[in-house]
Amino acid sequence: MQKSFSTQSNLFFSTADLDHPILHSLDDTEALLEWSEIETLLTSIYDSNTGRPSYPLLTLFRSLLLGVWYQLSDVQLAQCLYRDLLFRKFCRLEFGGDVPEASTIGRFRTQLVEHDLWDRLLGEINRQLEVKNIIMKEGRINIIDATPIEAMQSGTGKGKDGKPTKDPDAGWHVKNDSRGNKKSTYGFSVHTGVDEDGFIHRQSVTPGNVHDSQERDTLLLGDETALYADAAYSSQQTRDKLAKYGIDDQVQRKGYRGKPLSEEEQTRNKVIAVTRAGGERPFATYKRHYGLGRTRFMGLAKNATVYGLAAMAANIRKGAKFLTLYGIPEPSYAG
């Protein structure tokens, strides 16, 4: 039987002497979304009406978001839920009440993987941000890019059974660095499509040996006014597709042996690079702020969910920042 997040006590402190400004540092995040809509999407995870009541789905979902924002393992997250008043407030956990264990948090993440919910959850979050005019849909551009992520197990070692211990779902990502030297990473590639404000609209995770251009169609929105991308996506096929859908081609060109870029093409690439650089924002957030420069789990599905959670976490915090700076404009409901 599933407890409802909305019926949880408003918290364990109701007196002013337990209040403090730090306990309001996630209030902008709390106010940003209609969380009940998120809860509705999560209900497919536990559909039984019998048995011992489990933690509210939003309590567990918000716990995972906290783990991303604060770079916490499941064990560290469970410990913080016990002792951190801000965490308890955000997750609606009463003082002195039960707190999810690391194993409970891990099982909930596994349920997200099995139900393949991260993409739908990201879509719902973005839909709400669009309704509130925090994400601007009309006239938006799409910046696509990819980055390699080292696998949790990437070495050449073998287990007790004699089989390789490295992640079997990963692959070798080979790329030339700025000096022309080849850099190889055994792991995965995270592919994203973001708008000019850095909000993530599309994302996929593939083995590292999948070329960036193969995820082009996955990252296309269909209603963008222009597509910005580096030369890895440059091809006649890409140009034909963009022309078919009336999308302005802002993909950098690449030179070939015996056919180097003209001076005009080089200038064009430099102009595009200014905007295209915005496509690297999510990767900087994932690696520097969320500690996700290396995977934490084995397997493609689990890592797709982890980086999907990171995309949601990034968009929520960015949206909350917009809320703090500008307030929420009047909602514009269609129909």
Reported as a single tens digit per residue, the pLDDT across 168-177 is: 999 999 987 6
Residues 110 and 179 in one domain: no
Question: Which pLDDT value is given to residue 258?
Answer: 87
Would the pLDDT of 331 be above 60? no
Instruction: Using pLDDT thresholds of 50, 70 and 90, give the confidence band for residue 323.
Output: confident
Asked if residue 325 belongs to a domain, the reply is no
Asked if residue 315 belongs to a domain, the reply is no
Any residues with CB less than 8 A from the CB of 26 and at least 6 apart, and which? 86, 89, 90
Contact 225, 139 (CB under 8 A): yes
Question: Which pLDDT value is given to residue 21?
Answer: 87
Q: Can you give the CATH number for the domain in which 218 is found?
A: 3.30.420
Asked if residue 121 belongs to a domain, the reply is no
Residues 162 and 259 in one domain: yes
Asked if residue 245 belongs to a domain, the reply is yes
Asked if residue 329 belongs to a domain, the reply is no
Q: For 257-266, what is the mean pLDDT?
A: 93
Instruction: Tell me which residue range forms the domain holding 187.
Output: 138-304
Strands 182-194 and 171-176: antiparallel
Any residues with CB less than 8 A from the CB of 190 and at least 6 apart, and which? 146, 147, 149, 203, 204, 205, 282, 283, 286, 307
Residues 9 and 101 in one domain: yes
Structure tokens at 193: 């499509």
Whole-angstrom Cα distance, residue 130 to residue 138? 10
Question: Which pLDDT value is given to residue 328?
Answer: 59
Question: Which pLDDT value is given to residue 196?
Answer: 95
- For the stretch 133-144, pLDDT in tens is 999 989 999 999
Contact 43, 6 (CB under 8 A): no
Residues 280 and 245 in one domain: yes
Whole-angstrom Cα distance, residue 26 to residue 62? 11
Task: Count Cβ atoms below 10 Å from residue 256 Cβ, excluding itself.
Answer: 7
Question: Which pLDDT value is given to residue 335?
Answer: 39
Residues 149 and 87 in one domain: no
Question: Which pLDDT value is given to residue 177?
Answer: 67
Whole-angstrom Cα distance, residue 118 to residue 306? 9
Would the pLDDT of 3 be above 80? no
Residues 251 and 167 in one domain: yes
Asked if residue 197 belongs to a domain, the reply is yes
Residues 164 and 248 in one domain: yes
Residues 232 and 265 in one domain: yes
Residues 170 and 227 in one domain: yes
Asked if residue 234 belongs to a domain, the reply is yes
Instruction: Classify residue 297 as exposed, middle or buried by CB count within 10 Å of its CB (0-12, 13-18, 19+).
Output: middle
Question: Which pLDDT value is given to residue 18?
Answer: 66
Instruction: Using pLDDT thresholds of 50, 70 and 90, give the confidence band for residue 48.
Output: very low
Residues 72 and 202 in one domain: no
Would the pLDDT of 53 be above 80? no
Number of independent structural domains in the chain? 2
Residues 111 and 188 in one domain: no
Whole-angstrom Cα distance, residue 300 to residue 39? 25
The residue length of the chain stands at 335
Higher pLDDT, 49 or 180: 180
pTM value? 0.90
Instruction: Using pLDDT thresholds of 50, 70 and 90, give the confidence band for residue 6.
Output: low
Contact 81, 93 (CB under 8 A): yes
The dihedrals phi and psi of 265, each to the nearest 5 degrees, come to -70, -35
Residues 144 and 236 in one domain: yes
Whole-angstrom Cα distance, residue 104 to residue 88? 16
Contact 310, 286 (CB under 8 A): yes
- For the stretch 173-218, pLDDT in tens is 998 766 667 889 999 999 999 999 999 999 999 999 999 999 999 9
